[in-house]
Structure 1
Amino acid sequence: MDARRRRQPQRDLPRDPCGAPGDDDPTSRPHHHDLVGPRPDGWLLFVTAYATSKHGVIGLTRSLAAELGSQGYPGITVNAICPGYVRAGMGIRMQSTKSGPVAGTEIFERYYKRQVAQRRMIEPEEIAHVAVFLSLPESAGITGQALNVDGGFFMS
């Protein structure tokens, strides 16, 4: 057992917490696939981790809405707002690329705009308006929903 394994506490995990399954087994190399790697548009993304985290939020939203409703709390609603490419925060921050730092707005123009039905970034106020609407009595019948505010990204 090497030093890093001795330092690791024992965990009930389906794999070795110190490395990928079979990382010391040369026969597993032909079956190794990077979860992060070049994509046709030139990006390196943690696609699996990102998708998993977003699905977790949606699952939590639906489960919590169902639990609260079934336990006699019909006045409490639980919804998720799923923003698209927003002109704020990560949407405008400088991103590192192979050719150097690029503004998020430029990345949107180059790679994402053609995938969005409305061909534009979402403004922060649009997300805020959805949040306000969901807090109003008029939205009392909406619960357990994931509302996409993305300019039609998922439609394209």
Structure 2
Amino acid sequence: MQIDLSGRTALVTGSTQGIGAAIAAGLARAGARVAVNGRSEESVAQAVAHLFSLVPGADFVAAPADVATEEGAGRLTEQLPRVDVLVNNLGIFGAQPALEISDAEWRRYFEVNVLAAVRLTRAYLPGMMEREWGRVQYIASDSAVVTPKEMIHYGMTKSALLGVSRGFAKEAAGTGVTVNSVIAGPTHTGGVEDFVYELVDRDLPWDEAQRAFMRQYRPQSLIQRLIEPEEIAHMVVYLSSNQASATTGGALRVDGGYVDSILP
């Protein structure tokens, strides 16, 4: 399958590292102009330099802004008024006992993981609908379906994204714009390495710690390993393409078979 995103501008929120950076690289390899987003100019500049080393000759644009705030999102949309592919990847996570999650933490998780994506969708979806082409995606999680007891506030936000995605897909019905969620399974990133070591013996070598984590906390996984960020990016690049024009309103799984369901 030859995916060509030449002439398209993509914005990937939270793309200075991890899954977001892998998505940015994947979209750039397909020919898109890619806006790299993070909260600070320094982190974005470092990420852009690294991405150029991975995809020489690509068209990366630095787009620093804290999109979890109205002010930050406003600055970003002024800098980048037109987007053809919006990938709402920004998210925070962490383990905390359910009964110890404060009101402030519930609000913070909702603001960052859900409202930031809603705000940018409101900003960019109308232009996509007018042009009769566009792609909006939300990076959800297996936690949207299988709520982990150690971080139910995170799971709640990812469940919310599935509803947000389906609703905006209906809003865009018949316009040529598609809206989907990608349900990412347990993925190997630097942040996840830290998270794994919060839950298993810190003295274990990484390979052993990863296996122990999967056995104890994610035993449903059919691949019995963490997913690599590039594997999530492959799905996002496909959904961004013309080839995915009939896929909308969906929640597509890249979860290693973690969710025990025959439905997508």
Q: TM-score, normalised by structure 2?
A: 0.38
- DSSP 3-state at the match of 2:246: coil
Amino acid at match of 1:131: V
The equivalent position to 2:188 in structure 1, one of 87, 90, 114, is: 87
In the alignment, which of 151, 169, 187 is matched to residue 65 of structure 1? 169
Question: How is 1:5-24 mapped onto 2 (pairs within 5 angstroms)?
Answer: none
Aligned amino acid, residue 192 of structure 2 = G
Q: Deviations over 1:61-97 (max 9, x none)?
A: 000000111xx52x11111111111111332225424
Could you tell me how far apart the structure 2 residues matched to 1:65 and 1:58 are? 11
| Larger RCO (CA under 8 A, 6+ residues apart) | 1
Q: Which letter maps to 2:221?
A: V
Q: Which runs of 5+ in 2 are unaligned?
A: 1-96, 101-147
In the aligned structure 2, how far is the partner of 1:97 from the partner of 1:118?
Answer: 20
Hey, what does 2:13 align to over in structure 1? none
Q: Is the 8 A contact 1:87 1:105 kept in 2?
A: no
| 8 Å Cα contact 1:91-1:105 kept in structure 2 | no
**Secondary structure of the corresponding residue to residue 179 of structure 2:** coil
Letter paired with 2:98? L
After TM superposition, give the deviation of residue 139 of structure 1 in Å: 0.5
Secondary structure at the residue paired with 2:237? helix
Q: 1:124 aligns with which of 214, 225, 229?
A: 229
Q: Which residue of 2 aligns with 1:115?
A: 220
Paired residue secondary structure (1:116): coil
Return the match for 1:56 from 127, 144, 160. Answer: 160
Give the residue type in structure 1 aligned to 2:162.
Answer: I
Cα gap change, 1:91 to 1:135, in 2 (>3 Å): same
Q: Contact 2:210–2:225 (CA<8 Å) still a contact in 1?
A: no
**Is the Cα–Cα contact under 8 Å of residues 61 and 78 in structure 1 kept in the other structure?**
yes
Query: Normalized per residue, which structure has more strand?
Result: 2
Gap change, CA 1:98 and 1:84, over 3 Å in 2: closer
Distance 2:156 2:203 in 1: 27
SS in 2 for 1:120: coil
- Does the CA-based 8 Å contact 1:85-1:121 persist in structure 2? yes
Aligned to 2:198, which of 89, 96, 99? 96
Name 2:43's counterpart in structure 1. Answer: none
Higher helix share: 2
Percent pairwise identity: 33
C-alpha distance in 2 between matches for 1:140 and 1:77: 7
Flag structure 1 segments of 5+ consecutive residues without an equivalent.
1-33, 38-42
Q: Mark the CA change 1:136 to 1:98 in structure 2 (over 3 Å): closer, same or farther.
A: closer
- How many residue pairs end up in the alignment? 114
Q: How does 1:31-50 map to 2 (within 5 A)?
A: 35-36=98-99, 45-47=150-152, 49-50=153-154
